[in-house]
Chains A and B, each alone.
Chain A
């Protein structure tokens, strides 16, 4: 899907009805504070595929922190390693060297079973293709991670999440009876419902029209602002990235830049600059 021409997502300003030039007040977190309350951290993270001539370095000694309560977007052109970075940090993929921590847990030493448990208890996921179970109702899909864990969902919290994403009247519907935007809202609710340490989104707006995409991003940002959730999202859409508190730019498996309080135009300019550099070099 990458590189596919889609409708651009409305920037947060447009979505909130503000002019794009208006200053957005953002509370800055001090670096010191961030270190102590980091939700996930990668240190010297490398991922190498293949051997010898076919050797491909997907991630080249990447170090990055995802502070608690922050909305981070990872951007970069196709093949830059942004998805690989997310997969490694989320415990979906193994890495070649370096270390990854989720909260206090070091992922490198974990076996598959423990990794699965970690994902179940500490991580929420939102996929581009929604990935809901067609046999379950919206409600059942939302509580699925708790079902798997055999935990009783915190009813009050789940209701709050459902209210936030505006699905109260759709709970008994099955995914096929919901629109794409509604399905992704179910997916957002599913990620939030288990109150994970961190939520990873893999192009969460990739399959949505601009309005639905803006809604979903709005919910994600709200969850960070109002519920103190930590969200990391891979995207290549500057408008989507502009909802984040911070954008990390990847190219050739390395972090090449980052931008605090991004705007869609700012991100686009930065991307263009990389593209130009990529072409001249």
Chain B
């Protein structure tokens, strides 16, 4: 049996190629994902282990610059740690944001990955965490050291002047040295600026205090012993952990973030494989049909049904194994490629060997072989049912009508159930998402089951126009497309699945994007928003500088604050009275925002309602510094996305905060946004690379840009499923051409020229592709609508947007897919040898 199966595989190489390719792509996706994430995980684990190599115990105090009550580690405390038995060195650390400007004044890196820290030489005059490749550590207030990568990006040499922005104004320092480090953040592509310790302490905490301390052990002292010794010496609120524990913690964190990446990629791999199933099933159905006589003969000479079935399954297994091997190798290539691609887009990955885990190998082969055999199951069963007498008759068995009736009933029930689930889920609101998920799955399966039935009426609709446009070729193509509804259905299904997902996420993405755009334009009047690239609060000096900038007509900070009212904390925004309504679109429900100028506050409508507050009420409040007082509500306003539900005059907030936490500064300029106005703001800020000045367009992109990015990533991942679907179309057409050789030969004989034979095949492909695409687009829009309904309550200004332009593009692409898929089958149909074709056997 095995030999027969093997021989059959070899005999149908060309036909099986598409099948193999589909499995190969799926397996490559799966194994590539697994190998990539394993490799990444290993590299990061090694990295974090290495970065804690010298650390026996790490102490952290959570001391906060803005909060005087928190204590850091002062010199005396550090000295006590240093004096402990078994301690080799105890190094104090303090760190925070530090952005380096390149010679053009632009920030190197992307804000959240720019850090600064202290250079802390030990007894030997060296800081063990850093290895200097050039120069030496900063030993004066006006000196800094840079990591090698950042120095290279800024083209800085030792002795050069470097502009560094921390959360205060920009300062110019002299580069004293360039270093390398095992620090994970730096190895992941971030920048690191080292300051002289007193400078760093002043910048990031308080003079003379460290936030953290790392302790290295003397030879022969265990981490645990050191930890127990260190603990009693710690100030209140501080925490100590061993280096091993921290390395493990970091590794676990990395693992977690990789797991979600892994899951996401595997979901897309599953989609690709699911699509592949249709292609495989189609191929095997075809192979079995072609071999009806041969299989019947085997039955006639005594092979049992089981043996026939097993021979087909074995054939599938052989295909699966071959495809798995190729797919796995391709997956290794994919993983390597992904790694270099990641470093190309700036995500630096620590070097490390390619990790091929047994799980990855097992998964690749398991998936490849299992999927192929599973997809061949139905065709194998059909093969086993071929009666021995079929060997004698020349007529091929015709598909029974009965099974289609059953199939349609099942499909209709599934589709209806699914549709009902989706609609019900949409009606339920945000809790209906699970229902929609289940419904979507059922509906998709239902539609796939129903597709053969749908194909006839849908394609019949376009037949007249095809005939009018393309004459005989069009007419025949439309008819050929529905000749084998099952096959057309399976082919179209593959495309429909891909397009359902693509359309669904497009509808959602575009809808959300526009909602965000609308929220921005509806809520903001300001021309500019200034904030720190790092996401840290802005320094008070920035506000003062901007108030004086030329062209500025209104300016208000959005200063984070909070109030305690009757035991409940309310987050509040400190704003500039009089200017706040010029930079934000704030609609008052009652009262007036002018009341802010009189030391009153304003409350958002939803918050006012839920607390039973109204304009004119006086609230007893506790401020952030625990001082008590009363505040009068001067206005109630429609809540704004960019403001907290309580507005307070800035001076009241300031009175109760040791260091103001200004999140953003909003500005209105004379004549609106313009190049000159923007430059004026940048100049006023001292050309600080760490601060970003955004106009409304930039704001929209910051808040909505990730949606486009996410969409593009998903399009990319779904492309794999679409490629497999295209292979399916190629396969179906190749089969059709092969089956209809005689017919095509006759058409050529009675005068259909090659060009029109090609066109006939091409149109058939386009019809099938577009049919699948239309079904997918329809289902996708339905799903997009349903999920959107559940998001409605969370997103203000939600309105469903159908991206007709994108959907149109998808349909055009589907048509092109058809043309592309038909290239080879159409050529072979046109090149067909007429004489062999019309000759009867």
Given A92-B835, A112-B754, A131-B838, verify A125-B749 contact (CB < 8 Å): yes
**Which residues B669-715 have CB closer than 8 A to chain A?**
none
Does any Cβ of A come within 8 Å of B840's Cβ?
Answer: yes
Query: Shortest Cβ distance from A62 into chain B, in angstroms?
Result: 18
Once the chains bind, are A116 and B754 in contact (CB under 8 Å)? yes
Does any Cβ of B come within 8 Å of A113's Cβ?
Answer: yes
| Smallest CB gap from B745: residue in A | A131
Interface pick from B355-363, B476-484, B622-630: B476-484
Please, what's the 1-or-0 string for B221-264, where 1 marks a CB less than 8 Å from any CB in chain A?
00000000000000000000000000000000000000000000
Complex Cα gap A106–B483 (Å): 40
Please, what's the 1-or-0 string for A224-254, where 1 marks a CB less than 8 Å from any CB in chain B?
0000000000000000000000000000000
Complex Cα gap A150–B469 (Å): 12
Once the chains bind, are A144 and B479 in contact (CB under 8 Å)? no
Complex Cα gap A119–B752 (Å): 9
Once the chains bind, are B750 and A145 in contact (CB under 8 Å)? yes
Query: Shortest Cβ distance from B93 into chain A, in angstroms?
Result: 80
Does any Cβ of A come within 8 Å of B735's Cβ?
Answer: no
| Smallest CB gap from B471: residue in A | A150
Complex Cα gap A190–B749 (Å): 13
**Which residues B749-801 have CB closer than 8 A to chain A?**
749-756
Does any Cβ of A come within 8 Å of B743's Cβ?
Answer: yes
**Which of B471, B742, B754, B755 is within 8 Å of A131, CB to CB?**
B742
Query: Shortest Cβ distance from B345 into chain A, in angstroms?
Result: 52
Complex Cα gap A273–B834 (Å): 34
**Which of A113, A133, A148 is within 8 Å of B743, CB to CB?**
A133
Query: What secondary structure prevails in chain B residues at the interface with A?
Result: helix
Complex Cα gap A124–B838 (Å): 14
Query: Shortest Cβ distance from A248 into chain B, in angstroms?
Result: 21
| Chain B residues with CB below 8 A from A206, complex form | 840
**Which of B752, B835, B838 is within 8 Å of A148, CB to CB?**
B752
Once the chains bind, are A128 and B840 in contact (CB under 8 Å)? yes
Please, what's the 1-or-0 string for B818-841, where 1 marks a CB less than 8 Å from any CB in chain A?
000000000000000011001011
Once the chains bind, are B480 and A135 in contact (CB under 8 Å)? yes
Does any Cβ of B come within 8 Å of A87's Cβ?
Answer: yes
Count of chain B residues with a beta carbon within 8 Å of a chain A beta carbon: 26
Does any Cβ of A come within 8 Å of B472's Cβ?
Answer: yes
Given A131-B742, A133-B743, verify A149-B751 contact (CB < 8 Å): yes
Does any Cβ of B come within 8 Å of A129's Cβ?
Answer: yes
Once the chains bind, are B743 and A119 in contact (CB under 8 Å)? no
Query: Shortest Cβ distance from B473 into chain A, in angstroms?
Result: 9
| Chain B residues with CB below 8 A from A148, complex form | 472, 747, 750-752, 756
Does any Cβ of A come within 8 Å of B748's Cβ?
Answer: yes
Does any Cβ of B come within 8 Å of A127's Cβ?
Answer: yes
Once the chains bind, are B746 and A116 in contact (CB under 8 Å)? no
| Smallest CB gap from A122: residue in B | B751
Complex Cα gap A207–B475 (Å): 29
| Chain A residues with CB below 8 A from B754, complex form | 112-113, 116
Complex Cα gap A92–B748 (Å): 9
Once the chains bind, are B753 and A125 in contact (CB under 8 Å)? no
**Which residues B449-505 have CB closer than 8 A to chain A?**
471-472, 475-476, 479-480, 483
| Chain B residues with CB below 8 A from A135, complex form | 476, 479-480, 483
**Which of B472, B479, B753 is within 8 Å of A147, CB to CB?**
B472
Once the chains bind, are B838 and A127 in contact (CB under 8 Å)? yes
| Chain B residues with CB below 8 A from A147, complex form | 471-472, 475
Complex Cα gap A128–B748 (Å): 16
Query: Shortest Cβ distance from B400 into chain A, in angstroms?
Result: 15
Does any Cβ of B come within 8 Å of A170's Cβ?
Answer: no
Query: Shortest Cβ distance from A53 into chain B, in angstroms?
Result: 23
| Chain B residues with CB below 8 A from A113, complex form | 753-755
Once the chains bind, are A117 and B753 in contact (CB under 8 Å)? yes
Query: Shortest Cβ distance from A77 into chain B, in angstroms?
Result: 17
| Chain A residues with CB below 8 A from B756, complex form | 148
Once the chains bind, are B840 and A119 in contact (CB under 8 Å)? no
| Chain A residues with CB below 8 A from B835, complex form | 87, 92-93
**Which residues A93-138 have CB closer than 8 A to chain B?**
93, 112-113, 116-117, 119-121, 124-125, 127-129, 131, 133-136
Query: Shortest Cβ distance from A135 into chain B, in angstroms?
Result: 4
Please, what's the 1-or-0 string for B646-676, where 1 marks a CB less than 8 Å from any CB in chain A?
0000000000000000000000000000000
| Smallest CB gap from B478: residue in A | A135
Please, what's the 1-or-0 string for B734-747, where 1 marks a CB less than 8 Å from any CB in chain A?
00000000110111
Query: Shortest Cβ distance from B764 into chain A, in angstroms?
Result: 11
Complex Cα gap A120–B749 (Å): 8
Once the chains bind, are A144 and B749 in contact (CB under 8 Å)? no
Complex Cα gap A112–B754 (Å): 9
| Chain B residues with CB below 8 A from A131, complex form | 742-743, 745-746, 838
Query: Shortest Cβ distance from B775 into chain A, in angstroms?
Result: 22
Complex Cα gap A190–B472 (Å): 15
| Chain A residues with CB below 8 A from B840, complex form | 1, 127-129, 206-207
Complex Cα gap A198–B329 (Å): 61
| Chain A residues with CB below 8 A from B755, complex form | 113
**Which of B479, B746, B748, B751 is within 8 Å of A127, CB to CB?**
B746
Query: Shortest Cβ distance from B755 into chain A, in angstroms?
Result: 8
Once the chains bind, are A116 and B479 in contact (CB under 8 Å)? no
Query: Shortest Cβ distance from B277 into chain A, in angstroms?
Result: 29
Once the chains bind, are A133 and B752 in contact (CB under 8 Å)? no
Complex Cα gap A150–B751 (Å): 11
Query: Shortest Cβ distance from A148 into chain B, in angstroms?
Result: 5
- 9 closest A-B pairs by CB: A120-B751, A135-B479, A131-B746, A116-B753, A129-B840, A147-B472, A119-B751, A148-B472, A145-B750
Can you name 27 A-B residue pairings with CB atoms under 8 Å? A87-B835, A92-B835, A92-B838, A112-B753, A112-B754, A113-B755, A116-B753, A116-B754, A117-B753, A120-B751, A120-B752, A124-B750, A125-B746, A125-B749, A127-B746, A128-B840, A129-B742, A131-B838, A133-B743, A135-B479, A135-B483, A145-B750, A147-B472, A148-B472, A148-B747, A148-B751, A202-B838
B residues near A (Cβ < 8 Å) are 471-472, 475-476, 479-480, 483, 742-743, 745-756, 834-835, 838, 840-841
Extra contacts besides A92-B834, A147-B471, A148-B756 (4): CB < 8 Å: A119-B750, A125-B749, A127-B838, A134-B483
